[in-house]
Amino acid sequence: GQNIDQPTEMTATEGAIVQINCTYQTSGFNGLFWYQQHAGEAPTFLSYNVLDGLEEKGRFSSFLSRSKGYSYLLLKELQMKDSASYLCAVRNAGNMLTFGGGTRLMVKP
Amino acid sequence: EAQVTQNPRYLITVTGKKLTVTCSQNMNHEYMSWYRQDPGLGLRQIYYSMNVEVTDKGDVPEGYKVSRKEKRNFPLILESPSPNQTSLYFCASSLTQGYSGANVLTFGAGSRLTVL
């Protein structure tokens, strides 16, 4: 089976940097996704990693280490609108996608 | 506008009364899927479909049915709803199921179902 762990909640200050970690155990690996979900809304795609290293997209970056079963999402210059849940999802060798429980990020002034 | 449309968005019903949540996408996607989201449990897959007339069980299929008679539609059927099916439901679609960064899931707005 698959197991994906991420912290339940995090708090950070507007303008700061926050790192949300995700560790996973999976039967084979075919990519890791990060989604953002505002309360009561649909998840929206943020980033995709399939090779080791850092993918940067504006204020958001995502890092992957396949050997460690580890990823993080880095959010810079935090804004109040970044308050949301961040979902880590892993695709296994059979192309099945499994989501973690999500990390609820609260950005405070 | 490319989108996944779910209806109804909100529904309160009673135990045993059959209901259907519709899902439609206008992106010509082959792959469609239903998830339920519960506090602390994240998104769990109920059923998925890789193409027309091809459906398969996800992680939590008990108590649900689906059909895929047309490419654009993937309704979720609760034949005899029970209170433990009270949840937030999301339909999602992607171009295919295959492993490619292009296969990003697009989600519908969600359907909040309460079973009394």
Task: Write the pLDDT tens digit of every residue in A38-50.
Answer: 998 999 999 999 9
Identify the pLDDT of residue B101: 62
Return d(Cα B82, Cα B84) in angstroms, integer: 5
Alpha carbon of A45: minimum distance to chain B alpha carbons (Å): 7
Return d(Cα B69, Cα B8) in angstroms, integer: 20
Percent of chain A with pLDDT over 70: 99
Average pLDDT over residues A102-107: 97
Say yes or no to pLDDT of B98 above 80: no
Contacts of B98 in chain A (CB under 8 A): 95
Average pLDDT over residues B26-42: 92
Average pLDDT over residues B65-81: 97
Contacts of B41 in chain A (CB under 8 A): 101
Mark B44-78 as b/e (b = at least 16 C-beta within 10 Å): bbbbbbbeeeebeebebbeebebebeebbbbbbeb
Identify the pLDDT of residue B110: 96
